[in-house]
Structure 1
């Protein structure tokens, strides 16, 4: 008999595990650092999964043997960890775009999902079940409009301003404070390592958002341009599977959308002239909970 359902979602910055009871109520949650194997080793990702799952077990006062159904993103990592923790089920795998629809409370897998957290991607699902995705190429080759993109552009803008190439901006002081350095150029020593510290750069996006809230023109421009890029990505996907007369949801999932109208208005400005019946919806449910609820539906045929 199924007692508890486990869902675990891994991202570039955070990993979240959520346990539901048989009635679908959240019994416990655990979190850890990032677990995206595009940017960290399989071992590091597995450790993040184990930490998040163990935290959820403790919060819910359950053990591995109590789990009767489970779901995940990053299936290969989850499957390995489940074996190690002796969780007696195999996790069901879900795409981040399907998870986004669940987070927005949309039952039918039809429409567009824009993911903009540490990284970015966009996926679309047509009436006939056709799936079309773009993005997700990582910080070197893509991630347009993501927190990483916003953070990196904010840091660059601060450096150019500090050396006099561009007008002054609040981002210069933000860089000094964020990295704990005396001069903006000191950011080089914090960032130039053997590998990209994706989370560190993405974290600066919050500083860009704060500066924008204080009216800083450079920060405002960076966020608005991020919104335009996300809108263009979504419009491209929509053109592959919908017509201009179709109505469909555009699910917005990820921390970037917490920046509000500065990022949301440009997205709508790109999409709505091409697809007037499209409707943007913010995904509010936590991703780990959404994965658990998708697994719950699989187990109980919902």
Structure 2
């Protein structure tokens, strides 16, 4: 008999599962499609989680009856209503294991810093700064979706690039290479194609967020509009972190901040702007661990506390 745990990082693009034994030894990984029930619906969410558990059990020759806990990190799971919906869906799987539900930001924090204390900045398609202080209080800034928030995110950068590119073409802004580069990146040949693309229902937030790398490339080439957009993104992300520090950590020693997401890892100018703005208040670390590792760690801590 081998007792084991599963950590799951469930996102809007992909879902990663990781199995480990009770000593923390990683046994296997699996990746599936999206499982954010706000996007996929509850039935699809449940099916993806079930398929991860089934595949890990079969591929590793492990028994589900020996599975102690499934530790999940999910968007919005720190809200009571969302947690209740998730727990209800998982109960339908008929397993004897326990379920540990945390937000995707919390598992990223634990993966990045090795404990549930400090701050994580996530800047990918969306953005959020999420912190837990020594007293266990949770403080967050941003992360309310692209209509109300997500400052400094890939989507915000991509959208701003399109806006500034259109204005430049109409003589209402500085000249920029952004629109030409975006059209080339997206495989578009005319303005009509571009307008159709950005207004098409099948064009996702991720598609627009992908333009952020184009903006980063244009900034490196010296395009002034791209440089302005990138610097504004860095300032916006710094503002999120500073808000969390001020409200939850005070003005003492610099706070440990781990960073995830393509905007802070792939666009150097954004990271430099962050480092400059937060030099006196934060120690920034670009994390190389996967957030799902934080879910595994939290699951193992739960097991140890039950022994």
Asked if TM exceeds 0.5, the reply is: yes
Kindly tell me: are residues 301 and 138 of structure 1, through their superposed partners in 2, closer, same or farther at Cα, counting changes over 3 Å? same
Matched residue, 1:90: 98
Q: Is the 8 A contact 1:30 1:51 kept in 2?
A: no
Matched residue, 2:29: 29
SS in 2 for 1:88: coil
Matched residue, 1:301: 305
Of residues 135, 152, 159, the one that matches 1:152 is 159
Kindly tell me: are residues 210 and 18 of structure 1, through their superposed partners in 2, closer, same or farther at Cα, counting changes over 3 Å? farther
* Residue pairs, 1:173-188, within 5 angstroms: 173-188=180-195
Q: Is the 8 A contact 1:14 1:35 kept in 2?
A: yes
Matched residue, 2:206: 199
Distance in structure 2 (CA, Å) of the matches to 1:59 and 1:127: 40
Kindly tell me: are residues 59 and 286 of structure 1, through their superposed partners in 2, closer, same or farther at Cα, counting changes over 3 Å? farther
Q: Is the 8 A contact 1:28 1:57 kept in 2?
A: no
Matched residue, 1:7: 7
SS in 2 for 1:128: coil
Q: Is the 8 A contact 2:73 2:105 kept in 1?
A: no
Return 26-35 or 283-292, whichever deviates more.
Answer: 26-35
SS in 1 for 2:113: coil
Matched residue, 1:72: 72
Matched residue, 1:189: 196
Of residues 233, 240, 253, the one that matches 1:233 is 240
Residues matched between the structures, number:
298
Distance in structure 2 (CA, Å) of the matches to 1:49 and 1:177: 38
Q: Is the 8 A contact 2:2 2:62 kept in 1?
A: no
Matched residue, 1:286: 290
The answer to whether 1:139 aligns with 2:146 is yes
User: Where in structure 1 are there 5+ consecutive unaligned residues?
Assistant: none
Q: Following TM superposition, by how much is the alpha carbon of 1:92 offset from its aligned partner in structure 2, in angstroms? A: 0.4
SS in 2 for 1:236: helix
Q: Is the 8 A contact 1:151 1:204 kept in 2?
A: yes
Return 139-148 or 97-106, whichever deviates more.
Answer: 97-106
The TM-score normalised by the length of structure 2 is: 0.82
* Residue pairs, 1:50-65, within 5 angstroms: 50=50, 52-53=52-53, 56-57=56-57, 60=60, 62=62, 64-65=64-65
User: Where in structure 2 are there 5+ consecutive unaligned residues?
Assistant: 75-82
Q: Following TM superposition, by how much is the alpha carbon of 1:28 offset from its aligned partner in structure 2, in angstroms? A: 2.1
The TM-score normalised by the length of structure 1 is: 0.84
Q: Following TM superposition, by how much is the alpha carbon of 1:76 offset from its aligned partner in structure 2, in angstroms? A: 5.2
Q: Is the 8 A contact 1:64 1:85 kept in 2?
A: no
Kindly tell me: are residues 24 and 236 of structure 1, through their superposed partners in 2, closer, same or farther at Cα, counting changes over 3 Å? same
Q: Following TM superposition, by how much is the alpha carbon of 1:291 offset from its aligned partner in structure 2, in angstroms? A: 0.8
